[in-house]
Structure 1
Amino acid sequence: MKATLTYQGVNYTIDFSQPIDLSIPLVNSDANPIAWYLAAPVIAPVTIGDWVGKVDSGHSSTNFNTVVFNPHAHGTHTECLGHITKEFYSVSESLKSYMFLAQVISVDPEVQMDGDRIITRKQLEALWVDYGQNAIVIRTLPNTIDKKSRKYSHTNPPYLVSEAAVFLREKGIEHLLIDLPSVDKEKDDGRLLAHKAFWNVKDVNDLNEDARLNATITEMIYVADEVVDGLYILNLQITALVNDASPSKPILYKIVK
């Protein structure tokens, strides 16, 4: 099914029958990616006395599972500036619309003398094409399939330097998506420089008036190799969860005209 969307006065025709799912499913096994030093998520049937909420147990007419997980550690999630501020902000209140014009780019992080792998402003500037986009999807290279099940704790994954985040903010990017567990360095003594730069948060204890309340960061996506760099329509789906972050399901659609 094809449809035409209008964004900033330009018509874009997309095919809704060919969605490109960037999310990593939450599973109760070693296939689940994990970050931030937590154990695997748990998906298990409710047990009350001798009753087990599982059809094949012979005790229940329905499957009735409890799910225990952390949005930041266990898969694709979208977060708002409430992730780093003293005052509470919910991503379900921050994200007001769900369809965006997005550029997909592939970046090979630069290796530093200390072994850190960083995404720089210069790299983003070289890949930037001005489509009037308000979302960007960053695929890091090499793009191995084990990103979908990687155990990130204590591995010092690549990250954005603050100047790169400033560049995206200056270009009007409101929704940043990346295939890493964080836009910041894993162990940075709580500085969170890229988060702060992207959201324009100057003081986490006393939020400045020009902080970007409606901007979001989506982490731990997976962009398959067959998805070519370029312009897409993004549908960013989250759950109705009153929290700084929510599990999310970002979907890309190719522009066919």
Structure 2
Amino acid sequence: MIAKISNFEIDLSKPIDISIPLTNTEENPIAWYIEKPAIEPVVFGDWIGKVSEGKSSTNFNNIFFNPHGHGTHTECLGHITKDFYSINQSLKKFFFFARLITVEPEKMGEDFVITKEQISKVMNVSGFSKTEAIIIRTLPNLKDKKSRKYSNTSPPYLSEEAAIFIRESEIQHLLIDLPSVDREHDEGKLLAHKAFWNVKDTHNLNSDARLDATITEMIFVPNEIQDGDYLLNLQIASFENDASPSKPVLYAISNFQL
């Protein structure tokens, strides 16, 4: 199926899924010091909600997981505020013009950091006049990102200056293949989160905080997908929570004209 948007053509039959599936196996990625997800049948006495057990006509599972620690998820500023804000209420549109970029975080002391200079270099090239989302793929881009155990490994992160630059570029949606845009052990400063959402005080939200901006973490973009401009479909489950497991999907654009 071909969809036409302005001067662009989008082949909706060729989605590029950049989410990581959630499983109850050792292959599931994990961050933030928790155990793997649990997916198990409901049990009532001797009845088990699993067809293969022979006592149920349906598979009827409970699922226990944490959206922040168990895979691809999309979060709103409610992740860091005293007052409750829901991703289901914050994200009301689901298609965006997006730019995929690839960067190799720079060594700074004991850390590896994505800098403002790296982001601005790749953003200041020809493309959409209105890019709404940025997708950051980091190097090295190994397949073990799909099953990596991140706890206590000090993964790379986004500098505060880079997050400010992205915000000031009017990017509404930030996607990254790391467990957080911030340093793993940062004493609760959350500098990149606050900078992107323009949150000055998490206990008394400023009026110009970005209520409709989102951060998506723990994606995976295969190496064969080229940097450039795409149509992004950012799908979430309808959780009234600060974050939801999500399924970002890219679509290539043809007949691209500025």
Coarse TM-score class (shorter-chain normalised): over 0.9
Is residue 2:82 matched to residue 1:78?
A: no
Deviations 1:63-112 (A, max 9, x none): 00000000000000000000000000000000010000000000000011
For 1:83-94, list aligned pairs within 5 A: 83-94=79-90
Cα deviation, residue 145, structure 1? 0.1
Deviation at 1:21, TM superposition (A): 0.2
Q: List structure 1 runs of 4+ shifted beyond 2 angstroms.
A: none
Match of 1:199 in 2: 197
1:1-257 to 2 correspondences below 5 Å: 1-6=1-6, 11-113=7-109, 115-128=110-123, 129=125, 131=128, 132-257=130-255
Distance 1:76 1:66 in 2: 20
Amino acid at match of 2:18: L
Looking at structure 1, the residues matched to 96 and 8 of structure 2 have their Cα atoms a distance apart, in angstroms, of 11
Report the alpha carbon displacement of residue 197 of structure 1 after superposing the two structures with TM. 0.1
Deviations 1:129-185 (A, max 9, x none): 352201000000000000000000000000001000000000010000000000000
**What count of residue pairs does the alignment treat as equivalent?**
252
- Structure 2 unaligned spans of 5+: none
| Distance across 1 between alignment mates of 2:17 and 2:23 | 16
Task: Give the distance between the partners of 1:48 and 1:31, measured in 2 at CA.
Answer: 29
TM-score by length of 1: 0.97
Q: CA deviation at 1:201?
A: 0.2
Structure 1 unaligned blocks of 5 or more:
none
Distance 2:85 2:5 in 1: 30
Alignment-mate amino acid for residue 159 of structure 1: Y
User: How far apart, CA to CA, are the structure 1 residues paired with 2:120 and 2:246?
Assistant: 28
> RMSD over aligned Cα, in angstroms?
0.7
Which residue identity does 2:5 align to in structure 1?
L
Aligned-partner SS, 1:224: coil
Superposition TM-score, scaled by structure 2 size: 0.97
Deviation at 1:50, TM superposition (A): 0.3
Structure-1 separation of matches of 2:157 and 2:235: 24
**3-state SS of the aligned residue for 1:70?**
coil
* Seq. identity, %: 63
121-130 vs 23-32, which moves further? 121-130
Q: How far has the Cα of 1:57 moved from its partner? A: 0.1
Cα offset, 1:5, TM superposition: 1.7
Other structure's SS at 1:248 match: strand
